[in-house]
Amino acid sequence: MKALGIINFEDNTAIIEGLGEERPIPAIAFLARYRIIDFVLSNMTNSGIDNVQVYCKEKPRNLIEHLGTGSHYNINSKRGKLRILYGEKSFSSPVYNHDIANFMLNMQYIEEDTNPYVVVAPSYFIYSLDYNEVLKQHIDTGADITMLYTNTSEAKTSFLGCDVVTVDKEKNITAIDKNRGNTKTKSVSLECYVMSKKLFIELVKKAAATSSLYWFKDILKDSVGELDIKGYPIRGFVECINSLEQYYKISMALRDRGTANGLFKPGWPIYTQTNDSSPSLYVEGSSVKGSVVGNGAVIEGTVINSIISRNVTIKKGAVVKDSIVLQDSYIGENAKLDHVVVDKYAIIHHVKELKGTAEEPVYVKRRDRI
């Protein structure tokens, strides 16, 4: 595919309490063995995009460690390249640390790439899609920009704060607005744009010249009516992880095999970094039901409708219900967790009961000892 992949970061309205304070959203662990960025990056490499730039808003360590050279995402080590880029100069200020500032600071790497097209997409929208189909429509229609959207009837509870688009019968985007959660049915923009690299660079420079606070989505909104912007609808599984509640809700929904089949499709592998964990041991006396379990776990207690990540220990008498337990955590004897998100390396030992709700799950901090 003759396109440069640009994995953009989400704007400041996406806040995943707790989990998102420790690392950038793309690096958050997801569904027992993945990270959020695995989905968009796998979409790109599966589509044959071999040159990918990942823009990192903050705390790059996590992301650098997870992505490495990109070889585990099937990026050709000679012909392809994965670059992790961040705006060293804009890190310190959340207001000025937007995507345009980062693109401008790394403009030479965008300009020197030889691909005629760009596919820009953030990582916090989760779906499986072959971008070749989008590029094909883009070329066939002769549009200036083709943007992905999905129709939802859940706009009151999901995709809050996301861009919504008005699409006419010819799939022209005629307006871009925000989802304020006041209407059920909306067409949500996935913030994924296909265009010529030339136009992309022009728009980035124009945004920078217009306002020092402009994001790419702002200049795009300004361009409605001026440019020929077409929509590309995607159906099936699409979700946006932009809050802890959404993170929890989407994770839990994917415990269902049928739902998961909409995301994990045959011939479309979702890559991630291997951990060389052993299989998981379900010890005598344990009970596990309705759950997703990563490798390396040792389960002695009871797990119901939960997500257990790699190398988690659940001791005797512990009951983990409707909860998400991240990598290397330890749930001590007789602890009772109900609607809890336990971050990595946490130890729950002395406090025996934690209870949250689906709307407000209790969050246990990384490396916390309770």
Partner 1 sequence: MRPNTMAAMILAGGRGTRLLDLTKKVAKPAVHFGGKYRIIDFPLSNCANSGISTVGVLTQYESVLLNAYVAKDQFWGLDTNDGGVYVLTPREKDQTGFDVFRGTADAITQNIDFLDSVAPEYVLILSGDHIYKMNYDKMLQYHKESQADATIAVLEVSLKEASRFGIMNCDENDVIYEFEEKPKKPKSTLASMGIYIFTYKTLRKYLIADDKNPDSHHDFGKDIIPAYLNDNRKLCAYRFKGYWKDVGTVDSLWESNMDLLKHNNELDLGDPTWKIYTEDVNALPQYIGEDAEIENSYITQGSVVLGSVKNSVLGTNCQIGKGAVVVDSVIQPGAKIGEGAKVTRCIVADDVEIAPGAICGSADSGEIELVAKKYVE
Q: Measured from the CB atom, is 151 or 273 closer to partner 1?
A: 273
217 binds partner 1 (CB under 8 A): no
Pair 351, 333: CB distance under 8 Å: no
Pair 315, 298: CB distance under 8 Å: no
Taking CB under 8 A as the criterion, the residue among 22, 64, 72, 362 binding partner 1 is 72
User: Which segment (26-34, 49-57, 239-247, 337-345) binds partner 1 by CB under 8 A?
Assistant: 26-34
DSSP 129: -
Taking CB under 8 A as the criterion, the residue among 31, 100, 165, 340 binding partner 1 is 31
Q: Measured from the CB atom, is 36 or 165 closer to partner 1?
A: 36
Pair 56, 91: CB distance under 8 Å: no
Shortest spacing between CB 282 and partner 1, in angstroms? 5
Contacts of 29 (CB under 8 A, 6+ apart): 35, 309, 326, 327, 344
β-partners of residue 243 are: 15
234 binds partner 1 (CB under 8 A): no
**Chain centroid offset of residue 76 CA:** 23
267 binds partner 1 (CB under 8 A): no
Beta strand segments in 218-275, E? 229-233, 239-240
260 binds partner 1 (CB under 8 A): yes
User: Which segment (87-95, 130-138, 228-236, 278-286) binds partner 1 by CB under 8 A?
Assistant: 278-286
282 binds partner 1 (CB under 8 A): yes
Q: Measured from the CB atom, is 31 or 244 closer to partner 1?
A: 31
Shortest spacing between CB 325 and partner 1, in angstroms? 12
Query: How many of the chain's residues bind partner 1 (CB under 8 A)?
Result: 39
32 binds partner 1 (CB under 8 A): yes
User: Which segment (125-133, 222-230, 275-283, 359-367) binds partner 1 by CB under 8 A?
Assistant: 275-283
Which 286-305 residues touch partner 1, going by CB under 8 A?
A: 286-296, 298, 300, 303, 305
Pair 370, 348: CB distance under 8 Å: yes
What is the signed CA dihedral for 201, 205, 207, 212, rounded to 10 degrees? 140
Q: Which two tokens stand for residue 226?
A: 């001026």
Q: Measured from the CB atom, is 10 or 38 closer to partner 1?
A: 38
277 binds partner 1 (CB under 8 A): yes
Taking CB under 8 A as the criterion, the residue among 79, 266, 274, 350 binding partner 1 is 274
Q: How many CA atoms lie within 13 A of 50 on its CB side?
A: 11
CA-based torsion, 122, 125, 127, 132: positive or negative: negative
Where do we find the tokens 């109900």?
338
Pair 318, 334: CB distance under 8 Å: yes
241 binds partner 1 (CB under 8 A): no
Rg (CA), the chain: 21
Interacting residues toward partner 1 by CB under 8 A: 31-33, 72, 255, 257, 260, 264, 269-272, 274, 276-296, 298, 300, 303, 305, 311
